């Protein structure tokens, strides 16, 4: 009698009730439905970055988005530089190139990088600059990114730029877009321009890639 009792204590019974099984099934169904809904929301809200930039370029030039095409062969970044040319676009009509646009990430900002869209003439002059993405906080640094300051780049001949490396904290003070007290953000803009200059020169065969 006592021996049978010991065996019972050593091997306790495991009870799996119908309610427990139902709970597991319900939780599994909830997880599955939640996953499907999340995937559906992501699919519905997804915005293709390349297409978004192309539309912005088309809006800038007042043309149909179909006239703006990707130009991956022009999206080249200078070796050793921190800033990158993320994408390039060509605006054309009936086979004739009207202008170019570049999405550039300028390194050296207070919070990492600032993305700019540069609009460039066929001859290699900047005719417009817009901030595409920035995490810079409001303050002195944001003055670098204002339309008035960016407008100082209009007419800049990219061919006149031959230094494609990162600008230093002292050298940036000599740049026309420098804002006193906003060294980091100013460096980001200047570095982006240098990256742009390299990409344009490389596509034109003026520098070796």
Instruction: Say if residue 54 is in the same domain as residue 40.
Output: no
Instruction: With respect to residue 9, please indicate whether it lies within any of the assigned structural domains.
Output: yes
Instruction: With respect to residue 104, please indicate whether it lies within any of the assigned structural domains.
Output: yes
Instruction: Say if residue 67 is in the same domain as residue 33.
Output: no
pLDDT attached to residue 10 = 53
pLDDT attached to residue 99 = 97
Instruction: Say if residue 67 is in the same domain as residue 112.
Output: yes
What pTM, to 2 d.p., does this model score? Answer: 0.76
Instruction: Say if residue 30 is in the same domain as residue 106.
Output: no
Instruction: Say if residue 79 is in the same domain as residue 145.
Output: yes
pLDDT attached to residue 46 = 41
Instruction: With respect to residue 208, please indicate whether it lies within any of the assigned structural domains.
Output: no
pLDDT attached to residue 14 = 57
| Count of structural domains within the chain | 2
Contact 172, 192 (CB under 8 A): no
The domain in which residue 195 lies consists of 50-203
pLDDT attached to residue 209 = 59
Instruction: With respect to residue 209, please indicate whether it lies within any of the assigned structural domains.
Output: no
Instruction: With respect to residue 116, please indicate whether it lies within any of the assigned structural domains.
Output: yes
Instruction: Say if residue 127 is in the same domain as residue 172.
Output: yes
- The three-state DSSP-derived secondary structure of the chain is CHHHHHHHHHCCCCCCCHHHHHHHHHHHHHHHHHHHHHHHHHHHHCCCHHHHHHHHHHHHHCCCHHHEEECHHHCCCCCCCCCEEEEEEEEEECCEEEEEEEEEEEEEECCEEEEEEEEEECCCEEEEEEEEECCCCCCCHHHHHCHHHHHHHCCCEHHHCCCCCCCCCCHHHHCCCCCCCCHHHHHHHHHHHHHHHHHHHHHCCCCCC
Instruction: With respect to residue 137, please indicate whether it lies within any of the assigned structural domains.
Output: yes
Instruction: Say if residue 81 is in the same domain as residue 22.
Output: no
Instruction: Say if residue 131 is in the same domain as residue 78.
Output: yes
Per-residue tens of pLDDT for the chain, all 209 residues: 555 555 555 555 555 677 777 777 777 778 777 777 776 655 554 446 678 899 999 999 999 999 999 999 999 999 999 999 999 999 998 889 999 999 999 999 998 899 999 999 999 999 999 999 998 888 888 899 999 999 999 999 999 999 999 999 999 999 999 999 999 999 999 999 999 999 999 998 877 65
Instruction: Say if residue 111 is in the same domain as residue 65.
Output: yes
Instruction: Say if residue 125 is in the same domain as residue 90.
Output: yes
The closest alpha carbon to 81, from 197, 181, 204, belongs to 197
Instruction: With respect to residue 181, please indicate whether it lies within any of the assigned structural domains.
Output: yes
Instruction: Say if residue 37 is in the same domain as residue 90.
Output: no
Instruction: Say if residue 87 is in the same domain as residue 171.
Output: yes
């Amino acid at each position: 009698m006592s021996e049978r009792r010991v065996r019972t204590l050593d091997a306790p019974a495991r009870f799996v009730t119908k309610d427990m099984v139902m709970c597991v099934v319900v939780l599994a169904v909830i997880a599955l439905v939640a996953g499907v809904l999340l995937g559906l929301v992501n699919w519905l809200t997804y915005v293709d970055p390349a297409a978004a930039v192309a539309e912005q370029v088309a809006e800038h030039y007042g043309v149909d988005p179909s006239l703006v095409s990707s130009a991956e062969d022009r999206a080249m970044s200078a070796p050793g530089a921190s800033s990158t040319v993320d994408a390039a676009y060509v605006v054309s009509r009936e086979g004739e190139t009207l202008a170019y646009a570049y999405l550039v990430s300028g390194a050296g900002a207070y919070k990492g990088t600032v993305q700019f869209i540069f609009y460039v003439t066929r001859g290699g002059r900047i005719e417009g600059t817009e901030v595409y993405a920035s995490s810079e906080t409001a303050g002195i640094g944001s003055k670098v990114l204002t339309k008035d300051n960016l407008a100082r780049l209009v007419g800049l001949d990219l061919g006149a730029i031959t230094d494609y490396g990162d600008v230093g904290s002292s050298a940036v003070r000599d740049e026309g877009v420098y804002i006193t007290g906003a060294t980091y953000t100013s460096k980001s803009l200047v570095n982006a321009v240098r990256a742009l200059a390299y990409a344009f020169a490389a596509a034109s065969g003026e520098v070796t890639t």
